[in-house]
Amino acid sequence: MSILKVEKVVSGYEHMQILHQISLEVQEGQIVSLLGPNGAGKTTLLRVIFGILPLRQGKVYFKGEDISDIPPERMPRLGMCYVPQEENVFPSLTIQENLEMGAFILKAGCKPRMEEIYKLFPDLSNRRKSRAGELSGGMRQMLAIGRALMLNPQMLLLDEPSSGLSPLLVDIIFERIKKLNEAGVTIFLVEQNAQALQCADRAYILEGGEMKAEGSAREILKDEEIGRLYLGR
């Protein structure tokens, strides 16, 4: 079943149209990657899906429901969470406090959930009392994902989780994303880094606000022309 469906979406900022008739689908249980160079419109598309930026044409469906006009604050309750690329943690709060803040809209206690997240990200567990502002980029990305997981989402939207990380940390973050997916979370992974193809099931290539290609991650990885034209290889 497709958990997310984007249908011919047109959107942009003021008089500028950025996204031109964008369509894509994410099947439940998969990791689907959206790859494209800087300025392609990746973040803009995430904002449209999550309801931060209005769409001008087209539709977005989540679990079969039309969410095109649903505001972002209602999305977590529907089962979708969004981890922006930057400013995704509270720097002055500790790891533990950040996780607690992630669950503030839940009435039920959040302790058991937090322990599950610490199990998934042992590095966070060892430093519960450290302030987020003192963490390395990789740890901060894990914390930002952990915060979103406090709401127990069925689907996560991740905006360039590997950006600015050292090659070793890039491997680790993609490995954790894979583990998270194996635990049952569907993932829409926006990246400039083609390494995302190694953990994705399917991929889409966005450039200049247009969808240029789609296919299984393996097909996209093998395709030399796509690699040369869009992935800087």
Ligand X SMILES: Nc1ncnc2c1ncn2[C@@H]1O[C@H](COP(=O)(O)OP(=O)(O)O)[C@@H](O)[C@H]1O
Chain residues binding Mg ion by CB under 5 A are 42-43
80-93 CB burial, b ≥16 within 10 A, e <16 = bbbbbbeebbbeeb
Judged by beta carbon, residue 18 or residue 117, the one nearer ligand X is 18
CB 33 within 8 A of CB 140: no
Note the residues at the interface with ligand X (CB under 6 A): 13, 16, 18, 36, 38-44
CB of 167 to Mg ion, least distance (A): 21
Other Cβ atoms less than 10 A from the Cβ of 109: the count is: 9
Residue 4 CB, shortest distance to Mg ion, in Å, is: 18
Q: Which two tokens stand for residue 208?
A: 């200049």
Nearer to Mg ion, 42 or 176 (CB): 42
Q: Which residues contact 134 (CB under 8 A, 6 or more apart)?
A: none
Of 103 and 144, nearer to Mg ion (C-beta) is 144
Q: Where are the alpha helices (DSSP H) in the chain?
A: 42-50, 75-78, 95-102, 111-120, 122-125, 137-149, 167-182, 217-222, 224-230
Q: Considering beta carbons, is residue 42 or 140 the nearer one to Mg ion? A: 42
Instruction: Give min distance, CB of 44 to Mg ion, in A.
Output: 8
CB of 72 to ligand X, least distance (A): 15
Which of Mg ion, ligand X, none has residue 40 at its interface (CB below 5 to 8 Å by kind)? ligand X
